[in-house]
Amino acid sequence: MKQRHVQHLFWRAGFGIRPKQLNTVSQKSKEQVVDMLFKASSSATPLKVDTSEIDHFSTAYILKNKTQLPEFRKISREKLKTYNVAWVNRLVTSKETLREKMTLFWANHFVCRDEHIYHVQQYNNTLRNHALGHFGDFVKAISKEAAMLKFLNNKQNRKQKPNENFARELMELFTLGEGHYTEEDIKESARAFTGYNNNFEGDFMLRRFHHDYDFKTFFGHSGRYDGDDIIDIILKQKQCARFVCGKIYRYFVNDTINEKRVEELTNIFFEDYNIERLMRYLFMSDWFYEEANIGIKIKSPIEFLVGLRKTVPVTFKKEKDVFKIQKLLGQMLLNPPNVAGWKGGKSWIDSNTLMLRLKLPSIILANAEISLREKGEFEDTFDKYRSNKKKNEFVSVEVDWETFNYQFKNVKVNDLKTLLIIPELSAGTETYLQTLSQSSKQDYCVQLMSLPEYQMC
């Protein structure tokens, strides 16, 4: 497989690839590489944080100790921060690359936000478990998740007083897209989800007295449907496969939809709603590797951060620095802006986020300084002394250049750019880079990461 194609595949199916792995993988055929990718993700390692200090909280315990609930909430919110950091670290280190990338994708599809650490954790792992599974099972699982029941008010959805919020978003955002259902469909299907509820631990419960067991008419079918039946009927609409494939295409291939390709994916997906099969088809197709699809997507803040940390491992000394960066860049995991999720693409970029993105590699890796040393210039030891002395104010990090040096040992300085930059460098920028001294791989790495081109994958 061509090195460039491997890089492309690993950026879209993951967060980039390191030189040593790139070398080995490039020797293999496309089929072998894609197989390898799926094999590595055949397992699903749950993401959990230590909650032992609040593990005695349960439905029964809460009933007797209502006054301790505020304390639980407080600790829970702290745990969420730890969970956020653990998730980001997971993205950097996991071997289940594709599964993690898909989990991130689904987290912005089945968008949800909650503050109860058990429920958040359970929800996140449901995304992870189903990430490459059957889409129908996935939607059904989501409809019964405690965090989702709360987020879209399905807990308040009762026979006597239906709440349509979940039913509406189920069709508008999760399965069919706007305009492919009627208000009547929403009303009827909302009744099928009445009585859905959960306990403190996050287990699903059907409250029978609140569930509407009567006939519902939905998409021309009639029956005593419950939520699962409704989801089965939705899956029978080809529009559902089309809607999901459109999102997959935009996320993994190109912001600009190619109707023909999406229809091609739709035909595959509609057969069995098997996500793994769909993704395999996508990564095996020739058009995925067309130049027009390579290096043209703007990295999300998380892709940007995780990719950087894969190239140069970094340990943040303070948890709060990890949030600060996510917040300023406009993507804080577990904190989506609303049920429609992050818009992505150009919307990641405004004057402020772009300036920060360009500046961040040097802030994290080089005390905010990007070397300007030109070719043939002598190294100024005083400069070096000064930059080493300078206190890093914005973030407090430990940078692991050793791993970088090991990974890039056999890489020629001039080849760094093909490894770090996916799109074609603009001619002027290329010319400028050639004027700079390339005596230090580390300096050159920071320079490359500070280019607009590094924002693309």
Partner 1 sequence: MDRRQFLKQSTLASSLFFVPSFIKAFENVSASSLGYKRLVIIQLSGGNDGLNTIIPFHNDDYYRNRPKIAIQKKEAIKVTDELGFHPNLRPLKKLYDEGYLTIINNVGYPNPNRSHFRATDIWQTGSSAEQYLKTGWIGRYLDSYGKKPYNAIEIDDSLSLVLKGEHINGIATTNPAVLFRTSQDPYFKNVLNYYQDEHLSEHNLGYLYKTMISAESSAKYIFEKYKTTSNTQTYPNNGFAHQLKTSAKLINSGIETKVFYASLNGFDTHAGQVNSQARLLKIYAESIEAFVRDLKQQGTFDDTLIVTFSEFGRRVKQNAANGTDHGAANNLFIIGNQLKKPGFYNELASLSDLDDNGDLKYTVDFRSVYATILDRWLAVQDDAILNASFPKLKFV
Residues forming contacts to partner 1 in the complex (CB under 8 A) are 113, 168, 255, 296-298, 327-328, 330, 337-340, 343, 345-347, 349-356, 358-359, 370, 372, 423, 426-429, 431-432, 447, 450-453, 455-456
Residue 24 vs 352, nearer CB to partner 1: 352
Terminal-to-terminal C-alpha distance of the chain: 18
For 439, other C-beta atoms within 10 Å of its C-beta total: 14
Residue 24 vs 426, nearer CB to partner 1: 426
Sign of the alpha-carbon dihedral angle for 142, 144, 148, 151: positive
Shortest distance, position 8 Cβ to partner 1, whole Å:
15
User: Distance between CA atoms of 150 and 180, rounded to whole angstroms?
Assistant: 25
Using an 8 Å Cβ cutoff, are 348 and 330 in contact?
yes
Shortest distance, position 427 Cβ to partner 1, whole Å:
6
For 328, other C-beta atoms within 10 Å of its C-beta total: 16
Residue 121 vs 450, nearer CB to partner 1: 450
Shortest distance, position 202 Cβ to partner 1, whole Å:
21
HEC-encoded secondary structure of 256-307: CCCHHHHHHHHHHHHHHCEHHHHHHHHHHCCHHHCHHHCCCCECCHHHHHHH
**What is the token pair recorded at 435?**
């004027």
Shortest distance, position 432 Cβ to partner 1, whole Å:
4
Residue 49 vs 356, nearer CB to partner 1: 356
User: Distance between CA atoms of 244 and 266, rounded to whole angstroms?
Assistant: 8
Residue 331 vs 407, nearer CB to partner 1: 331
Shortest distance, position 111 Cβ to partner 1, whole Å:
10
Residue 97 vs 447, nearer CB to partner 1: 447
Residue 133 vs 336, nearer CB to partner 1: 336
Residue 359 vs 441, nearer CB to partner 1: 359
Shortest distance, position 172 Cβ to partner 1, whole Å:
9
Shortest distance, position 355 Cβ to partner 1, whole Å:
5
Shortest distance, position 80 Cβ to partner 1, whole Å:
15
